[in-house]
Structure 1
Amino acid sequence: MPEGAPVSVVSFSHLGYDSDQISEVTYNTVKKLADDGLLRALYVLDTEPTVSLDEWMIETPIPGGKTLPRIIYLLDQLAPIDGFDPRQVISEIFDRIVASNIGGGQIVHLFPEFQHTAERAKREELTTVVYARGCHPEETLRLYEEEQSRFDADIEVPYDWFHRYQRTYDHADHVFYLCDYVRETFIERGFSEDCLFKVGPLTVDPNVYRPSRSKSTEFTVLAVSNMTPLKGTRYLLDAWDLIDIDEAQLVLCGGISDDVQAELGPRIEQDASINHLGHVDDIAEQYRQASVFVHPSLTEGFGKVYPEAMASEVPVIATENGPTEFIDDAGFIVPIRDPKAIAEKLRYLHDNPDEAQHMGERGRTIVEANSWEGFSQRVFDGHKTILKNLQ
């Protein structure tokens, strides 16, 4: 570890692995910290050889790297047990090992699932910075329980995860957040504005997500997410029932949880205008063929689906509980749980293709104005401010 470096970063990621979204965030979190001599250590599950960080900075605390996680996932596939969550088990193992090793420096920067590391950091009198991927866990839990009362199918609320996140935030000195909506949920729960640092937005490579000049004439509405109760899929389907557009299709990309499948599966399967593709390897091509992107989520910290769609020059319909300041005039913002509002905006974009095109073009301009270097700089500036205040 570099002598005197103040910041240790803990992330549940395979650093450099393209399919791991957290990996890209983690790399750009530590890059400038490392370049400027502030990074003491980075704790991750494993790392790819292509990662351009000095090896002595990277700690992989679980013996064997990916081997143990792969065994746990394989055992779950071969002999699944009700209530057994392999990701939670691996995360718990990782958290406890890191907690036993953390120490030195001044700051521990971690993700909210690491309650044991946060507790140990406080005992060591280290300053704890939590990177908030989403809103305050009490707000997420409130929305989850509200959906539980609305669903026809049984929803199993993951209380273990929420309590784990809550205990981590109980030890947080500072929170790095991605959008204004998330900030407000923390202020409502008693966090001081002085301890909150905005590091968003995230971005994507505009060379990968780019517009198509040969789209189908069919009006294609695209939704991309793993469909869980808080992603709002039921409200999108209700909106789809409200509109009557010839030669239109709704394309759903992503997995579907058991509870959402139980309630919505038959509706999706029986509607010939809905195409559920499941996991899609080349999601960029789906954006290129889309007329509109809809993300009816009840809560979002900053899903990368927004810049993916905007870079592809696809107008966005999103809810108020997300990065509305980033979307700006590249689409429409609607209330949560409002199928009528979604349907009205879909109809408008169908009937006004020139305006839809202009929104898409503005979206790409917004994405091109942001960069991962900007994200790295905001993370770096946050840590520099915290370190200055610790002197």
Structure 2
Amino acid sequence: MSVDRTVVSVMGRFHAFDLARELDRRGRLARLFTSYPSSLLPRFGLDPAMGRTLPWVELSTRALRKVAPERGRRHAPWFARRYDRWVAAQLEEGPSAFIGWSGQCRASLERARDLGMTTIVERGSAHIEVQRDLLAAEFERAGLRPVLPHPAVVEAELAEYELADFVQVPSEFARASFVERGFDPAKILVNAYGVELGAFSPPVRQPAGFRVLFCGRASVQKGIGHLLAGFAALDAPEAELWIQGAVEQDAEHYRAECTDERVKWLGHRPQHDLPSVYREAHVFCLPSIQDGFGLVVPQAMASGLPVVVTSSTGAADMVREGVDGHVVPPGDAAAITAVLRNLHADRERLRTMSAAAAERVGSGWSWSDYGARAVELLERARAMCGHAPVVIPGPGAATTLRRAG
């Protein structure tokens, strides 16, 4: 009996490499298209023979973003179209499904449909219009010049949503954003991301002091201003806030104006350094204005950190309120302060929550678990055609799948 195999296409990497690796381990990967050089694929557990790559796109976009960030943003849609057309020209008969990353797969979706594949757009954030509107409101509130998705990107994504058989998202927050925009719930798949459990683990003993950690690109979208304000109101002279990651241009003024010596701007570090950074912290905070999931959240929990996230951060799905973390409203610095104050004052509770966080991630949140759910979703997506909803068990909220007739 033939086995259904899937094509995965991504300009860049994102979690597409994790998806491709897990599909390949199960004999379900037909091909990985990417702009990453093939020589880098083994670093992520991928067989270079399974990949087709267009590295000049990756090198060009990275160089442009580095030397001229604004030009890089303006030209991003052009590079995405070039990559998409290249993928479309490479697609062949045989695979049963195609998964393309949003904003870069319109032509390849059309070609995959012509070849009889089930087509899925992978969207890692909220619906593009919801993302745009949430960010516009936040920039206005902060009195900053808005940096929003390029109109060409919005247009391309909307077309992709309509073209595809399904849109796949990582969280209930992201799913709800599509429903809010009138999107057919029958076309939405949900599969929460995973974490490499072998790479992240709690420290042998809790470090001294009280250290709050943020990991990721510090930006308006990630709520960095609210985190700084919330921490500033914490009356704990020995406490520290570590900001691990590059600072986006829209958040540079926060760093320039920050005079609190307790705040440490660590800058970017390679992925393999992150486990040791997590083990030096006591609490993790990701107060995003919008975030489809936040891969750093399960990493932090696997490292034994209680997490503080907003209800607009998709990884809130995995947080058990008051058990292994807290969910606060987006843009609420006072709520962040209150949570940090309580955790700082009750170290026994902090230790209990730390153990609960590590335990939580160990059950259903590995990349292997994600891969198993991905295969089941693909199988049922292929089979469904106008049937009643099917509930697929997941580690958080149940996943509902129904294909529109």
Structure 2: how far apart are the matches of 1:330 and 1:369?
13
Contact 2:218 2:243 in 1 (8 A): no
Question: What displacement does 1:5 show?
Answer: 4.9
- Is 1:232 matched with 2:223? yes
Q: Per the alignment, do residues 4 and 217 of structure 1 end up closer, same or farther by CA in structure 2, a change over 3 Å counting? A: closer
Matched ranges for 1:134-173 at <5 A? 134-159=125-150, 160-173=152-165
Q: Over residues 49-103 of structure 1, what are the superposed CA-to-partner deviations in whole Å (9 max), with x where a residue is unaligned?
A: 637666664333x2xxx3553255446656x374234765543322121122334
Q: Per the alignment, do residues 369 and 388 of structure 1 end up closer, same or farther by CA in structure 2, a change over 3 Å counting? A: same
Within the candidate set 358, 367, 377, 1:372 is matched to 367
Q: Per the alignment, do residues 234 and 56 of structure 1 end up closer, same or farther by CA in structure 2, a change over 3 Å counting? A: closer
Structure 1: how far apart are the matches of 2:65 and 2:180?
39
Q: Per the alignment, do residues 87 and 27 of structure 1 end up closer, same or farther by CA in structure 2, a change over 3 Å counting? A: farther
Structure 1: how far apart are the matches of 2:221 and 2:66?
25
Matched ranges for 1:83-94 at <5 A? 83-85=71-73, 89-94=78-83
Structure 2: how far apart are the matches of 1:194 and 1:297?
28
Contact 1:7 1:40 in 2 (8 A): yes
- Is 1:183 matched with 2:192? no
Structure 2: how far apart are the matches of 1:174 and 1:163?
18
- Is 1:385 matched with 2:380? yes
Question: What displacement does 1:122 show?
Answer: 4.2
Counterpart residue number, 2:85: 96
Q: Over residues 163-202 of structure 1, what are the superposed CA-to-partner deviations in whole Å (9 max), with x where a residue is unaligned?
A: 33222212121122222221211222233333222222x2
Q: Over residues 296-343 of structure 1, what are the superposed CA-to-partner deviations in whole Å (9 max), with x where a residue is unaligned?
A: 001222211111110111111111122223122311110111111110
Counterpart residue number, 1:24: 18
Structure 1: how far apart are the matches of 2:71 and 2:88?
25
Q: Over residues 96-154 of structure 1, what are the superposed CA-to-partner deviations in whole Å (9 max), with x where a residue is unaligned?
A: 21122334344221111222322433455543211221121121011011112112331
Aligned residue type for 1:382: L
Contact 1:153 1:260 in 2 (8 A): no
Matched ranges for 1:164-313 at <5 A? 164-200=156-192, 202-262=193-253, 264-268=254-258, 270-281=259-270, 282-313=273-304
Contact 1:9 1:30 in 2 (8 A): no
Counterpart residue number, 1:11: 10
- Is 1:121 matched with 2:108? no
Within the candidate set 99, 102, 107, 2:97 is matched to 107
Q: Per the alignment, do residues 172 and 327 of structure 1 end up closer, same or farther by CA in structure 2, a change over 3 Å counting? A: same
Q: Per the alignment, do residues 343 and 376 of structure 1 end up closer, same or farther by CA in structure 2, a change over 3 Å counting? A: same
Structure 2: how far apart are the matches of 1:4 and 1:343?
52
Structure 1: how far apart are the matches of 2:56 and 2:128?
31
What is the identity percentage for the equivalent residue pairs of Structure 1 and Structure 2? 24
Counterpart residue number, 1:70: 59
Within the candidate set 3, 25, 40, 2:30 is matched to 40
Q: Per the alignment, do residues 25 and 6 of structure 1 end up closer, same or farther by CA in structure 2, a change over 3 Å counting? A: closer
Structure 1: how far apart are the matches of 2:250 and 2:367?
36
Contact 2:20 2:29 in 1 (8 A): no
The 10-residue stretch of structure 1 (179-188 or 227-236) with the greater mean CA deviation from structure 2: 179-188
Contact 2:61 2:72 in 1 (8 A): no
The 10-residue stretch of structure 1 (159-168 or 251-260) with the greater mean CA deviation from structure 2: 159-168
Q: Per the alignment, do residues 89 and 360 of structure 1 end up closer, same or farther by CA in structure 2, a change over 3 Å counting? A: farther
Q: Over residues 217-272 of structure 1, what are the superposed CA-to-partner deviations in whole Å (9 max), with x where a residue is unaligned?
A: 2211111110222110111111122221121111111111212113x12232x221
Q: Which TM-score applies when normalising by structure 2?
A: 0.83
CA-based RMSD: 2.7
Gaps of 5+ in 1: 15-19
Q: Which TM-score applies when normalising by structure 1?
A: 0.86
Counterpart residue number, 1:17: none
Contact 1:69 1:90 in 2 (8 A): no
Q: Per the alignment, do residues 365 and 77 of structure 1 end up closer, same or farther by CA in structure 2, a change over 3 Å counting? A: closer
Within the candidate set 335, 348, 354, 1:354 is matched to 348
Aligned length: 373
Q: Per the alignment, do residues 348 and 381 of structure 1 end up closer, same or farther by CA in structure 2, a change over 3 Å counting? A: same
SS at match of 1:332: strand
Structure 1: how far apart are the matches of 2:61 and 2:196?
33
Q: Over residues 18-37 of structure 1, what are the superposed CA-to-partner deviations in whole Å (9 max), with x where a residue is unaligned?
A: xx6542243224542xx1xx
SS at match of 1:323: helix
Q: Per the alignment, do residues 82 and 302 of structure 1 end up closer, same or farther by CA in structure 2, a change over 3 Å counting? A: closer
SS at match of 2:277: helix
Aligned residue type for 1:43: F
SS at match of 2:7: strand
Counterpart residue number, 2:389: none
Contact 1:129 1:172 in 2 (8 A): yes
Q: Per the alignment, do residues 324 and 68 of structure 1 end up closer, same or farther by CA in structure 2, a change over 3 Å counting? A: closer
